Structure 1
Amino acid sequence: MVIHGFPPFYMAGSEVYTYNLCQELTKNNEVYVFTRIENPYEDPYTYYDEDYHGLKVRRVNKPLRDYTLTDKYLDPKIDAVFETFLEEIKPDVVHIGHLSHLSTNLPEIARKKGCPVIYTLHDFWLKCYRGQLIKPDLQICSDPSDENCLDCVKRTFKDKWDIEDVKVYRKHMDAVISQIDLLLSPSHFLLDFYKNNGVDDKKLVFSKYGFNKSIILPKKRNYENDSKISFGFMGRVIPVKGIKILLEAFRELERSELHIFGSVGGQKVFLEKYVDENIFFDGSFDNWEINKVLEIIDVLVVPSIWYENSPLVIQEAFMAGIPVITSDIGGMAELVENGIDGFTFDTGNKDALKSIMKRIEDNPTILNGLNVSSTKVRSIQDDAAFVQELYREVL
């Protein structure tokens, strides 16, 4: 299993999902993980092996910050470490979760070693260097054309690229995709994006994320007319997550609470103006302690302004019996049925979000009529069984 970050050092959605999948796969298979770590106190490209919760993990040190776009996707030194790794473990299949900060040559290296390659898509990275189809000015990119990509590169990296460089880059990424046997997509939106952008639909497989449903405890909640509602946000506190929209919408409510669970980091100075007696920046949390977080939240808000493909937090909320308010685009809109297990709103529209939150604040019993169920969430056992069948298919 190849992934650009892995617990306990990286705990975003793709990393946590990959960890859970590996744990389930290891019950019937021998699983090795190849990942990176950022340790500024050790030499670059040194690596070490460890047993992490029963998983055999090789962590390669890559502490240098990426200053150019090329640094972000091509790395001959990572290639060399990976090739040695494959020679040592001799895997039957290589399953990739993400290649950012590693090297896009890894699929070709695996194929040359006789290993079929499966890739789980977590974003748009194989077709959009930012991975999120969003421009530096936070506007959604509806067309990842050569011209639009060049504009993004010039505004983000110090590369002196022209349109021909972009064409070479995009041709390279298409070659990377050609080395992959199957691409798994957890949302129809993401699958359709790749299909509409030239990927052979025979390679594309819809496969929802699986979850360890024994970890999150469901709780039946009943609300009265005077119940005080606790809205919650879980995730990285960064602009594309729509955090500013959420804070501005919530400030116009009167008697609810808002809990922000996620690392604020250097943005704290910019967000302090939003702090009042009803807004709490609770900091990051260990995913193993997720029940403590979900216990506080009555309604989860996922206001992202980019095409999130299948947010884990939405499905984690459903397992806990918590309704979700989310943006009406991408995989978010696939997961939440408006008026059934939550509400959707016009992406980026502060007033639309405020209207929904205010309606819940004024009439909390609305929540009693929602049908939030964990049955629509796939188990990690079903997920792993399906993935194993795909492994057999490509062998």
Structure 2
Amino acid sequence: MKICFISRFYKPFVRGGAEIYVGKIAEKLAKKGHEIFVITPAPKNQNYAEKINNVKIYRISPLNIYNAYESLKKPLLSKIVYHSLDLFNLHSYRLIKGILKDENPDIAHINNYKGLSPLAFKAAKDLKIPIVFTAHDYSSICIRANLLNEKGEICENPRILCKIYNKIQKSLIQDKPDIVTAPSNFVLQKLESRRLFNNVKRIVLPNPVETRKRIEKDYDNIDILFVGSLSKHKGPQILIKAFKKLKEDNLRLHILGKGPDEDRLKELAKDDERIIFHGFLTGKELMDMYRMANVTVVPSIGHEVFGMVILESFMHSTPVVASRIGGIPELVKHGYNGFLFEPGDDNELAKVLNKFSGDPEILGKLEMGAYKSSKKYDIKKHIDKLEEIYRSLT
């Protein structure tokens, strides 16, 4: 099959899990003999094509006040103008439609599309190309993509501008895909609650990992791991507060990541030498931390879509203690591969972590559950399911 991936970012210019996913899947499918090409924004204001690992990449530069790669640095007013133009970006529509017309793929698989315009859906639909849309986050129902307000709290009542934006976006993408997938059932339920894609076939397709052999751990020290953005909605402050309630000397808390709250978190942790900040790690350094850890904590207070940190932890036989929120309970099974606690409750989290220091044998049982859980998310099974979805539309 000839498959087009549409993605806001693509390697080597990556920012998050969605584009890492697209890169892995595109290359795996190419290795299986499929013809793969990607449409993605260019990092500079020029259109060009290149090839990486047998995947052809079209990098395009739709007209706007800045490009997708500059969004983090811009003030609020600029972002409002940018997103407004992106909604109806006819230049992007023409560029994407032109590439699709020339390439004539069997499937268009749309992933994160901000910076390429929701009109990417129309470009494929107008050419009668079957569309699969994967909702990696909440961007189709929330301009911030995370269902949080400006304070980093769950948004219960969106501002009027957000409501207008979401209504327009909905009209542009509603019922355009033939199939919608998401990593968790929670995401699909959120889309359904906003009456988006209700007439479209929806499939839960969890994110995949490369499975490994079971790793044996030791318990001389109990190493607790946090991996993620050092931002309020990810809950590192809750973990630090919980950890400081524990007095055992054999406990270590390793915090990996960077973010806007880094200085405040270091101030919160400064009088406890057992808390170590490692900065942002990737590749082998990150995997070595998962391998070393006895437990990973995911203390989010926002609606996590799925949690690749959880799967990466399971992949290294490391159980997870996590907030009971969003798509997390679909992965973490209480007492089997980890424990769940109420979001924001540092007292409950401290009690859970205290179990491990008092009886480390609990960890051995959870490690087996984590290892077995990782097998369910093997990337080979994921590719097979994706091919099945594509074939159903051709």
* Equivalent position of 2:243 in the other structure: 250
Structure 1, residues 194-234: CA drift from partner, whole Å, max 9, x if none?
22332326421122222222xx45302243xxx21111111
Change beyond 3 A, Cα 1:37–1:277: farther
| Worse-superposed segment, 229-238 or 64-73 | 64-73
Structure 1, residues 75-129: CA drift from partner, whole Å, max 9, x if none?
3443333233223322221101111233111010111122111111112221222
1:287-302 correspondence to structure 2 within 5 Å: 287=283, 289-302=285-298
Runs of 5+ unmatched residues, structure 1? 143-147, 154-165
**Helix, strand or coil at the partner of 2:361:** helix
Distance 2:182 2:35 in 1: 24
Change beyond 3 A, Cα 1:308–1:350: same
Structure 1, residues 242-289: CA drift from partner, whole Å, max 9, x if none?
12212222222332111122234x544333312442222212222465
Maintained 8 Å contact 1:327/1:344 = yes
Distance 1:168 1:98 in 2: 17
Change beyond 3 A, Cα 1:152–1:300: farther
**Helix, strand or coil at the partner of 1:360:** helix
Distance 1:152 1:326 in 2: 33
Maintained 8 Å contact 2:291/2:317 = no
Maintained 8 Å contact 1:231/1:299 = yes
* Equivalent position of 1:157 in the other structure: none
* Equivalent position of 1:8 in the other structure: 12
1:148-159 correspondence to structure 2 within 5 Å: 148-150=157-159, 153=162
Give yes or no for the alignment of 1:233 onto 2:231: no
1:1-395 correspondence to structure 2 within 5 Å: 1-26=5-30, 27-38=32-43, 42=44, 44=45, 46-60=46-60, 62=67, 63-65=69-71, 67-69=78-80, 71-72=82-83, 73-74=86-87, 75-141=89-155, 148-150=157-159, 153=162, 166-167=163-164, 169-198=166-195, 199-200=197-198, 202-213=200-211, 216-223=212-219, 227-254=220-247, 255=249, 256-264=251-259, 267-273=261-267, 274-275=269-270, 276-287=272-283, 289-370=285-366, 371-376=368-373, 377-395=376-394
Figure out how many residues of one structure are paired with residues of the other and give that number: 367
**Helix, strand or coil at the partner of 1:124:** coil
| One-letter amino acid of the structure 2 residue matched with residue 296 of structure 1 | M
- State the shift of 1:369 in Å: 2.8
- State the shift of 1:134 in Å: 2.1
Q: TM-score with structure 2 length normalisation?
A: 0.85
Q: Percent identity?
A: 26
| One-letter amino acid of the structure 1 residue matched with residue 355 of structure 2 | R
Structure 1, residues 289-321: CA drift from partner, whole Å, max 9, x if none?
543221232111111111112111111111211
Runs of 5+ unmatched residues, structure 2? 62-66
Distance 1:261 1:309 in 2: 20
Maintained 8 Å contact 2:225/2:254 = yes
| One-letter amino acid of the structure 1 residue matched with residue 205 of structure 2 | S
**Helix, strand or coil at the partner of 2:304:** coil
Change beyond 3 A, Cα 1:126–1:356: same
Maintained 8 Å contact 2:242/2:350 = yes
Maintained 8 Å contact 2:177/2:200 = no
- State the shift of 1:11 in Å: 4.6
Change beyond 3 A, Cα 1:201–1:229: farther
Change beyond 3 A, Cα 1:16–1:81: same
**Helix, strand or coil at the partner of 1:78:** helix
Maintained 8 Å contact 2:291/2:318 = no
Distance 1:373 1:99 in 2: 33
Structure 1, residues 128-165: CA drift from partner, whole Å, max 9, x if none?
222222222333235xxxxx222574xxxxxxxxxxxx
Maintained 8 Å contact 1:183/1:203 = yes
Distance 1:152 1:111 in 2: 28
* Equivalent position of 1:158 in the other structure: none
Change beyond 3 A, Cα 1:152–1:325: farther
Maintained 8 Å contact 1:21/1:210 = no
Change beyond 3 A, Cα 1:330–1:289: same
Distance 2:323 2:161 in 1: 24
Distance 2:7 2:285 in 1: 23
Change beyond 3 A, Cα 1:7–1:246: farther
Distance 1:263 1:202 in 2: 38
**Helix, strand or coil at the partner of 1:149:** coil
Which structure exhibits the higher relative contact order, with contacts defined as CA atoms closer than 8 Å and separated by 6 or more residues? 1
